Amino acid sequence: MTFSNLRLIKPLVLALDKKGYTTPTPIQEQSIPHILAGKDIFGCAQTGTGKTAAFALPILQLLSERKTNQNPRTIKALILAPTRELASQISENFAAYGYNLGISHCTIFGGVSQGPQVNNLRRGVDVLIATPGRLLDLMNQGFVKLNNIEFFVLDEADRMLDMGFINDIKKIIPKLPAKRQTLFFSATAAPDIMKLANTILKDPVSVAVTPVSSTATLVTQTVYYVKKENKRLLLKHVLSNGKIEHALVFTRTKRGADKVAKDLNAMGVSAEAIHGNKSQGARERALKGFKNRTIRILVATDIASRGIDVDKLSHVINYEIPEQAETYVHRIGRTGRAGESGVAMSFCTHEEMPYLKDINKLIKKNIEVVSTHPFN
């Protein structure tokens, strides 16, 4: 299967060739034909599966086929993203794939001056990529009108809900034309996600990427059995080993992430928590500190950890075992990248044993147990 087989126009295929992409990923292969056919999509896919191209390519193609000489241009496609980082990444994709199609786009998000963004909007754009808060601000000021929208994309909907954007989204949707094509992407199909999807999609086609089951071959995996009340001391114990210079620690809850970061700082270990209740600025500062290694430990919830891509990350520590076995695979996939080796440690209480059993079943092997520690 090649991109040409998906009936993409030549300028898009050439742009993909230039980036070295010849074979579509499963989410692209499943989504692109349906989007080109005008169908609404419910896509279940994790970050890193190529889903941005799965919606960007057909939207660019359909817009180029319907292009008019209208001046100034009106917004015909709206892509909503939960964070500034993701909005910027989507923008880069539209620029790379559509550079010779004459389709204009701009990106708006909070945390920066709105002046340059307003100037771009005044010049007229075909595609608007936005975070919900800044979009509502500029709509309320009269700078954005959505009455000509033909394509609406809600990306990482589960993360939107986790970050508390549901009320913003509910204010934006009524401003969109009833007649439009809607593309909805989420990493999970949880009940609250399905409830939101059902209110905005019309007769959608469901596309899903099969959950990842293989763990990186270069990642050494171990599990430590420990009582819940001793996890904090066990974390201090493993970090006292000079081999761990830099680690990503996972918790199941935002509150848990804050508590672990606070405990680590009290022990003299530089740490920051990153989760949906943190402001955009706080998340960016924490991530920057972790990447430039002024922060030794980053404590993250699963949804907030998306997009964390750190070179030469040696250790991932599962302070709490995830309830979904696939989540474990995604967590430990942050280390052992690009030919580097990595270590994944998991702290398991008696209550978490069923989760560990599911993980062993999914990865088709039993994780090695470390019994030589003081809190066994």
Reported as a single tens digit per residue, the pLDDT across 180-200 is: 999 999 887 778 889 999 999
* Residue 376, domain member (yes or no): no
- Identify the domain boundary among 208, 228, 249: 208
Average pLDDT over residues 257-281: 89
What integer pLDDT is reported at residue 212 of this predicted model?
A: 57
What integer pLDDT is reported at residue 210 of this predicted model?
A: 61
For residue 211, cis peptide bond before it (omega within 30 degrees of 0): no
Q: What is the pTM of this model?
A: 0.66
Same domain, residue pair 81 and 136 = yes
Distance CA 95, CA 326 (A): 32
Same domain, residue pair 40 and 162 = yes
Same domain, residue pair 253 and 129 = no
- Identify the domain boundary among 186, 208, 230: 208
Average pLDDT over residues 23-44: 93
- Tell me which residue range forms the domain holding 228: 219-369
Distance CA 344, CA 238 (A): 12
Please name every residue paired with 105 in a beta bridge, in sequence order, or none if there are none.
127
* Residue 374, domain member (yes or no): no
Same domain, residue pair 175 and 322 = no
Residues 119 and 88: beta-carbon distance below 8 Å: no
The DSSP secondary-structure symbol of 365 reads S
106 — pLDDT class (breaks 50, 70, 90): very high
Q: Across the chain, what does the average pLDDT equal?
A: 88
Exposed / middle / buried, residue 10 (Cβ in 10 Å: 0-12, 13-18, 19+): exposed
* Residue 149 reports pLDDT greater than 90: yes
**Nearest partner of 192 among 166, 224, 212, 229, judged by Cα:** 166
- Identify the domain boundary among 208, 228, 253: 208
Q: How far is CA 63 from CA 3, 209, 232, in A?
A: 18, 26, 54
**Nearest 5°: CA angle at 345, between 339 and 346?**
140
What integer pLDDT is reported at residue 346 of this predicted model?
A: 96
The domain total for the chain is 2
* Residue 375, domain member (yes or no): no
What integer pLDDT is reported at residue 191 of this predicted model?
A: 82
Same domain, residue pair 135 and 41 = yes
* Residue 234 reports pLDDT greater than 90: yes
Residues 160 and 169: beta-carbon distance below 8 Å: yes
Residues 147 and 177: beta-carbon distance below 8 Å: yes
What integer pLDDT is reported at residue 11 of this predicted model?
A: 92
What integer pLDDT is reported at residue 311 of this predicted model?
A: 66
304 — pLDDT class (breaks 50, 70, 90): low
Residues 50 and 44: beta-carbon distance below 8 Å: no
* Residue 213, domain member (yes or no): no
Same domain, residue pair 178 and 246 = no
211 — pLDDT class (breaks 50, 70, 90): low
Q: What is the enclosing helix (H) or strand (E) of 280?
A: helix 280-291
CATH code of the domain in which 236 resides: 3.40.50.300
Distance CA 341, CA 365 (A): 19
Tokens, residue 52? 């941005």
DSSP 75-144: --EEEE-SSHHHHHHHHHHHHHHSTTTT--EEEE-SSS-SHHHHHHHHHB-SEEEE-HHHHHHHHHTTS-
What integer pLDDT is reported at residue 35 of this predicted model?
A: 96
Question: How many helices and strands (H and E) does the chain possess?
Answer: 14, 14
Same domain, residue pair 159 and 291 = no
* Residue 236, domain member (yes or no): yes
Burial per residue of 311-350, b for 16 or more beta-carbon CB atoms within 10 angstroms, e otherwise: eebbbbbbbbbbeebbbbbbbbbbbbbeeeebbbbbbbbe
* Residue 272, domain member (yes or no): yes
What integer pLDDT is reported at residue 68 of this predicted model?
A: 66
Torsion of CA 201, 202, 203, 206, to 10 degrees: -20
